[in-house]
Structures are given as structure tokens and as C-alpha cells.
């Protein structure tokens, strides 16, 4: 069937889904978004994503012209209209169309856009055999310049890092913060396992507090695995027993090399496999 895109209360065929070229989301990256998964016809942790969207909106002084409950209904209705059992949702809110110039007061009518489609982040074999990462020169945005907890439309920082990774022959990049600490990858949070303890960078390291990241930590604690949110360096990953990434689109994917150095025995580890199995069970149940 032809994909249907929600824009401000109406559904349009994909080819007819359009917004103004004067929209400040397009002109200046002035807007926010959420990426959300659909499993077995149900939207995964929709409330957590909606809460984060409204938190981002408040931070950038963007008023979303509908309540969280109304927006959740719109998301679920759009999923049903697309008859999607397994898939991905891109929920976007822009500042709206206006005059040329940065001043947000010169805009009107924020645009609420809901896209429901398929997504495939990484090839299947990487989930089975693990992926390689490379540390790139592009660092995460300084938190005093742009809070990394805001899922803004201004993603050039991550895109430049992704370009570096591709040029190095990898599909994903490890990004450091302004202190030289490990932050996250271009689209995923990162974890390591050392002597049975699960560790991940804290929010203060300049990361996005991922919904899947939080689910992973919940699953780990429920399984009796000790979890630490703590500052980490590349040394910690070079000497780790296991490493994996988490994200809405990626779910949980093992990492077996960083900067051409094997992590552990160079194969996906038992804790990674256990958490991936538990996550798959979680999405079936929720």
C-alpha cells in the first residue's frame, strides 16, 4: 500500500506530503524529532518517547499545538492507517513557516509530521558476528552550545562523524566529548562489559538518554547484572570483555573491534547475547 504521512491532523500519500520551503525546520534545523519502533503492531514505549519530545520542545521554547495524549493518539492512528506490524516511526515537530532570518517569533503554525515506514540500520550478519567501530575526530557538541539531550533536527555533527566512519571502512563511529571521554555513537548509545559489570557513559558525558538504553539497564538489573553509569575512556573499551550498542533502530548490536583492536576475544559476548535475547522478549511482551 502507499505509505500515508500525517501532517497536522491529515493523512497524505507519501508523494503528496509537503511542507513550506520557508519552514524553519528546513531552513535552520529549528525543530525536534523522535524515532520510535513498532513491534507486532504496537508502538514500543510511546509514552517515554512523547515525554522526551515535549521535554525537548520546552527546552527550545517550542509549543506543540496539541496535548501529549492527542499526539499519542495521532501516532497510533497513523500506524493503523499504514497497516504496519513491524516498522519505524519518525515523529517530527518543526517551528513552522516564517520569514527568512533566525528569529523564531517570525514563524507560525508548527508542523507536526508522523512518518511510518520500514528501517534497517545494519546488515543481519553484524548482529551475528559483531561490528567494528572507529573513533572519529568529530566530537559531540559541547553541552554549553547545544544540549545533547535535545533531539533536534540539527544533526550535522553526527553526519560528519558518520562520514568519517564510512571513509574509514566502518558503518558506525565512536564520538568523544570535549573532555576526551567516550560519549556515544552517531545514532546509538554504547555499553561495555568488564568482569561481569555493565558500564555506560552517564548523561553528563554529553549523550542522549536513549529509550532503548534505559530499557537495557532495566533488563540488566532485573537479571542481576551490576550496572554503572560512569565516565569512560577509550582505554576502558580497549580492555573491555564485551561491547555493544543500543538504539531504537539498532536495538542491541555487538561490537567486536574498536580502532582495529579486538574487544575481548573478538566475538559477541555472553552478556551481550543475554541482553539481546531479553530485549527481544521484552518487545514481544510490551
Known catalytic residues are 151
| Largest distance between two CA atoms of the chain | 57
Q: What sign does the CA torsion over 257, 262, 263, 268 have?
A: positive
Burial 189-223 (b: 16+ CB within 10 A, else e): bbbbbbeeebbbbeeebbbbebbbbebbbebbeee
Three-state secondary structure along the chain?
CCCEEEECCEEEEHHHCCCCCCEHHHHHCCEEEEEEEEECCEECCHHHHHHHHHHHHHHCCCCCCCCHHHHHHHHHHHHHHCCCCCEEEEEEEECCEECCCCCHHHEECCEEEEEEECCCCCCHHHHHHCEEEEECCCCCCCCCCCCCCCCECCCHHHHHHHHHHHHCCCCEEEEECCCCCEEEECCCEEEEEECCEEEECCHHHCCCCCHHHHHHHHHHHHCCCCEEECCCCHHHHHCCCEEEEEECCCEEEEEEEECCEECCCCCCCHHHHHHHHHHHHHHHHC
Amino acid at each position: 500500500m502507499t505509505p500515508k504521512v500525517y501532517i497536522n491532523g491529515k493523512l497524505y500519500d507519501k508523494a503528496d506530503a509537503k511542507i513550506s520551503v520557508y519552514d524553519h525546520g528546513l531552513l535552520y534545523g529549528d525543530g525536534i524529532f523522535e524515532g520510535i519502533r513498532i513491534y507486532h503492531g504496537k508502538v514500543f514505549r510511546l509514552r517515554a518517547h512523547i515525554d522526551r519530545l515535549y521535554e525537548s520542545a520546552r527546552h527550545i521554547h517550542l509549543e506543540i499545538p496539541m496535548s501529549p495524549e492527542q499526539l499519542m493518539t495521532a501516532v497510533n492512528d497513523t500506524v493503523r492507517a499504514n497497516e504496519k506490524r513491524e516498522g519505524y516511526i519518525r515523529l517530527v515537530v518543526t517551528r513552522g513557516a516564517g520569514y527568512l532570518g533566525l528569529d523564531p517569533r517570525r514563524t507560525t503554525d508548527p508542523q507536526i509530521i508522523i512518518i511510518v515506514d520500514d528501517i534497517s540500520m545494519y546488515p543481519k550478519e553484524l548482529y551475528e558476528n559483531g561490528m567494528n567501530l572507529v573513533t572519529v575526530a568529530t566530537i559531540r557538541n559541547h553541552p554549553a552550545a547545544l544540549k545533547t539531550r535535545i533531539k533536534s533536527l540539527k544533526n550535522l555533527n553526527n553526519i560528519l562523524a558518520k562520514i568519517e566512519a564510512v571513509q574509514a571502512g566502518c558503518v558506525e563511529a565512536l564520538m568523544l566529548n570535549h573532555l576526551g571521554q567516550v560519549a556515544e555513537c552517531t545514532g546509538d548509545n554504547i555499553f561495555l562489559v568488564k568482569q561481569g559489570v555493565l558500564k555506560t557513559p552517564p548523561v553528563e558525558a554529553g549523550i542522549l538518554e536513549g529509550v532503548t538504553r534505559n530499557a537495557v539497564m532495566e533488563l540488566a538489573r532485573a537479571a542481576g547484572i551490576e550496572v554503572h553509569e560512569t565516565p569512560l575512556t577509550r582505554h576502558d573499551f580497549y580492555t573491555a570483555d564485551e561491547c555493544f550498542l543500543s538504539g531504537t533502530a539498532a536495538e542491541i548490536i555487538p561490537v567486536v573491534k574498536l580502532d582495529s583492536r579486538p574487544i575481548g576475544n573478538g566475538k559477541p559476548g555472553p552478556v551481550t547475547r543475554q541482553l539481546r535475547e531479553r530485549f527481544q522478549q521484552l518487545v514481544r511482551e510490551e
